[in-house]
Chains A and B, each alone.
Chain A
Amino acid sequence: MKRHYCLAALLLTGAAQAQDDCRLDVSESLLDFGSIRRVIDPAPGPERLLGERRLSMTLDCPQSSDLSVFYRGLAASAERLRFTQGGSYRVHVHGGLLDGRAVALGLLAASGQPPIASAQALDWRPEHGIVPMLNGLPAHGRSFSLQLAVSAYAEERATPVRDAVTWDTTGRIEAAGSGRSRALRLQAHFAPAACTPGLSNGGTVSFGKLSINDLSRDQDTRLPARPLTLTVACDGPTPFALVMKDNRDGSATGGLDETAYGLGVDARGQKIGRYYLTVDPAQVSADNFSRVYRTDSTTGGSAWSIANSSPIDVGARSLLGFTPAAGSTQGPEALQNLSALLSLKAFIAPLDSLDLSTEVRLDGSATLEITYL
C-alpha cells in the first residue's frame, strides 16, 4: 500500500510541473503495418515497403516558446530509424503550421543550433529536430502542428519466418523547450510462409480384404506396392522438408527403424505389420526444374546429405527435402509447387503371430508434416 501512495505522489508532482507548460499531442500513437505474409514479389529487391501511415502532431504552449521537436529512436541510417533487426522506417514531415500560418520546416542537428536544411517537406532524421521557419529563421510561437508520413520497410531476407513474429519498436517525439514527449509505437506482423500438403485419395491407402490364403504363415508377406501422389503448394518459394510422424508408434514389426510405420495391433495386442513410404526423386517434379534431387538431414537441418537421385523412405525424425542441384550439400531449395508419386510398401506379419479368430484390421495412421527451414 505504501508503494501505491508513493507512485501517486510522483504522478501528481509531474502534473503540477507541466501545468503551465506546453502540451504535445499525436493523432495516432500506434502505427500498425498489418500482417505480412510472404508472397511472390513481382519485383524482388533487397527490401520491401510494408506501408505508409499518416498522423499529425500538435505542440501547444501557453506563451510564445521554442517549438522545436526532436525525434528520438535508434538510427538505421542517416535518414532512417531501426524497425527491429530486419527493418527500418522513415518519418517524412510536411504541412507545418505555426499559430495557424503555413511555415517552412528547418532540420536541426541539435537544439539551439542553426538548421542544417530547410524546406516545406523533409525527412525527419534520427535524433534531429524540426523547427518552424519564418523568413528563413527559426521562429517561436504558441502552436505548432505538423503532418507525419511514416513508411516502414523490411529487408527481403528478414521476411521469411519460421514462426509468426511481431516487430515492435518505439520512437519518441520530444519537445525541446518543454521536455514533453509522446511515444510513437510501430508494429508489423509476419506470418510464416505457408505450404499446404495434399495426398491423393484423401490420404487413404486401402488394401481391401486380404485372405489368410494369400498371406504367409511363417514369414512377412509383402503386399503389392500402392502408388500415392503427394502435392505441396506454397504461397511463395519456400525451403521446406518433409517428416512423417507415426500415429501408431511402436506397432511396426521389425526393428526400431524410423522409416517403418506401424499397422496397429490385433485383438491380442500383436503387431500386424509395417509399411514404408518411398520417395523416388525421378518421380518428383517441382516448379520449372527439369529434375530434382533429394537430400536429407539427420541433424534437424544443420547438415544435409549430398543431393542425389536414389529413392529414400520418408522418416519420422530425418528431414527430407528437394533441390535441383545434384551433389549439393546446401539443403533444400526454395520451392513453390511440388508433386511426387510416392510408393507405399506394406508388409504383413507372419500369420502364426496373429490372432485370426476374428478379422484383423490394418490400422496405419501417420501425419506427414512440412517443416519450414
Chain B
Amino acid sequence: MNLTPYRAWASILVLGATLLGYGLYASQKDPSGTHFRFGLDLVGGSHLVYEADTSKVDPSEVDEAMSALRDVIERRTNLFGVSEPLVQVEKASFLSTSDKKERLIVELPGVTDLDKALQIIGATPLLEFKLVGPPAGASTTATSTASSTGQTYIDTGLTGALLSRARLDFSSGRNGGGLANEPLVYVDFNSEGRDLFAKITKEHVGTELAIFLDGKLISHPVIREPILGGTAVISGGFDAEEARALVRNLNIGALPVPISLATTQSVGATLGQEILTKGIQAGLIGLSIVMLFMLFWYRLPGLVADLALLIYIVLMLAIFKYVPVTITAAGIAGFLLSIGMAVDANVLIFERMKEELQKGTPYLDAVKEGFARAWPPIRDGNFTSLISAIILFWFGASIVQGFALVFGLGILASMFSAITITRTFLIALTGVADKVPSLLKSGFRNTK
C-alpha cells in the first residue's frame, strides 16, 4: 500500500493546524485583529427581556410592529453610546406551549448598572410635528428651534401621543391623484389630534410640516389643504421602501406595542472575568488529564488521539472566532464537555484495533478493521447526542442556545477529528509501528 499520500496529508494537517493555531493567537494579541466574542456573563453588562403586548395589533402586522420596536430601541442604545449593543426579536420556539408571546431581547455590554440600562430603553419614543419656519435669523419666534442647516422649526404641540395609527397605501392614479402606484402614507389622529391637526393645517396651507422622531427629522411634507377629517396623507419624495419605514416609525410614535419588562439580568465585570479565568483554567486542566490518560493507556495511538484532539480544539476556536460564536459560561462548559467526548470515538476505535491485533492481524489491517467496526456505535452514539443538542437549541433561551450550539458543533467537528484525522495519522505511521512494536504495547498489553 502506498503510504505517501497519507503521510503528505498528515503533514499538511499538522502544519495547517499549527498555522491556524498561531493565527488565532496572533489575531488575539493584535489590538486591531479579530477577537473572540464573549457573552455578557463573561464581560459584564445587562441583559433585558421585554414582553410586547401585541394583542391589539392585527396579526399580519405583528412582525412589522416588532421590527419597528427593535429599530427604535437599537437607536436609543446607540444614542447612549453603548458599544456593540444587541437588540433582537426573540424567535418563537416550537417548544413554547403558552400563547405565542412576542419578546424583545436587549443586551448592553458594559452597562452593569441596571438603572441606567432601564433609563436608556424605558423612555417612550417621541414623535413630533413641527412647522417649518423662515430661515434662522429672520425669525424671532420664541418657540422655534434652529437646526444645523439654518432652518427653523416651530413647535405645534402635535405629537405621537395624539396619533392613533399610520398605514401605507398606494395611489391608483385614477382620480387624478398623481402617478399610479405612488406610495401614500395615511396618518390617523385621535379626536384631540384631529382638532389640533385641523387647526394647524387651516392656518398654514403651503407650509412644510416637519415630522421628527426622537429629535431626528424624518420627513417634511407640504401642507396642501386644510385637513379636517383627522387623517393626513403624506405623499411624494419617497419610494415604497422609504414609505414603509416612515409608516413604521410613525407607528412607533403612537406606540402600537406597549412593552413591559419581563426579565433583567446584570452581571458585574469582575464576576464575569473570574468565571472566564476559572473556565479556561478548568479547561486546560481537564484537557491535560485527558491527554495524559490517552497517552499512557494507548501509547502511540494515544499520542495520535491527543494530536487529533489538539487539532479539534484549534478548529473549534477558529469557528468561535470567525463565524463568530459568542462565548458564554455555558458555552465554555459545553466546549469542555465536548473535549471529553471527542476522544470517545478514539477509545472505541483503539479498543477495536486492540482486539484485531490480539488476533494477530497485521497493523494496517487492524487499523482499517478497527475503524470499520467501531463506526456503527460511534455514529449511533453521536447521533443521539446531536438530537439532544438540536432540541436544546430549539429550547430558545439564549443561555441554552450558546451551550447547544457549541455542543452540537463539537459533536460534528469531533467526529471529523477523531475519525478522519486519527485514521490518516495511524496509517501514515505504519512503518514506525512495525519497527517499534513496543509503542503499541502498554495499552495493547496482550499484543503478541
Whether both chains belong to one complex is answered with no
A-side residues, CB < 8 A to B, are none
* Chain B residues engaging chain A, CB cutoff 8 angstroms: none
